[in-house]
Amino acid sequence: RGGAGISVLARSIGATLEVINLGTVVELEPMSEVLDVRLGPGTANFVEGPAMDAHQLAKAMNAGRHSAERARLAGAQLYLAGEMGIGNTTAAAAVSCGLLERDPEVLAGPGTGLNQEGVRHKVEVLRRALHLHGAENLSDPVECLRRVGGFEIAAMSGAYLACAQMGMPILVDGFISSAAALATVRICPGARDWMLFAHASAEPGHRLLVGALAADPVLDLGMRLGEASGAATAVPLLRLACDIHCHMATFAEAQVTEAH
C-alpha cells in the first residue's frame, strides 16, 4: 500500500520497487503489487534440521536471479536488495557464524529489540544449530544457505550473483543483506568487485561482516530497519559523488595553481 519505509524511500529516489513473497506463513490473496514465489510457510526450524531442501534453495536463488534480470532489462544501473522477515537476524547470524567460523556471541544482536536475556537465548539457539549442522557443512556457502539461511537471504545471494555476472553494480544494505553478500563472495569471489556497501548497521555483528568483506560503508547512522532502507538512503550521496566525478573541473581545467 506504499506505507513501508522502503516504499517511501523508493518514491523519493525514483527507484522501481519490486516486492516478492518468498514464504509468508499463510498464502496471500493475489495482489498486483506483489510477485508470489511462495516456497512454503517460512523456512523449517534449523535447530531440528536444514532450513530448506535443495529444491527450495534453488528456487529461492533463482527468484533473486530473475529479479536482477528484470531490473537489467528495465535499464537499471544499480541494484538494491532488502528484506522484511521474521527472525531473520538469527538466520543471518547463523550464516555468518558458519562462513566466518566465529562464535554466535560476537554475531548475535538484539535484532528488532531483544533484551539481554533474549540475546542470550538467541546465542544458545545459534550454538545448537551450528553443532547440529557441523562446521564442515557450514563452511560450504551453498550448503550453509540451505541449512541455516532464509529464503530471502538465498534470494539476495542469487540476485547478487546475477548482478555480478551481468556487470550491474550492487548496493548492499545492512546486516542481513551483508550475510547474503558474504555467501555470494564465497561462492564467486569476483562478485565482490561489483559491490558497494551502503551503511554500517546498528546490529553488532555487522562490523565483523564489513571487515570480512573489506568493505567501507558510505553511511554510519545507526540504522536497523532493513528493507534496503539504508541502501536507498545512500543513493542520493552516490549520485552526488558521480556528478562531482563527471562534472567538477580539475585544478588544471579551472586554472588553479597548486600550492607547493
Residues assigned a catalytic role: 227
SS3 161: helix
- For residue 206, give the nearest of 188, 182, 187, 190 by alpha carbon: 182
Show the CA angle centred on residue 134, arms to residues 123 and 147, nearest 5°: 80
H or E element, residue 230: helix 229-247
Taken in order 130, 135, 140, 143, the sign of the CA dihedral is negative
- Grid cell for residue 175: 546486516
82 and 226 Cβ atoms separated by less than 8 Å: yes
Say which amino acid occupies 240: L
CA 44, CA 79: separation in Å to the nearest integer?
Answer: 29
> CB under 8 Å to 255, separation ≥6 — which residues?
none
**Burial class of residue 173 in the structure, from the number of CB atoms within 10 Å of its CB (0-12 exposed, 13-18 middle, 19+ buried):** buried
Phi, psi of 34 (to 5 degrees): -125, 125
Nearest-angstrom CA–CA distance, 229 and 161 = 21
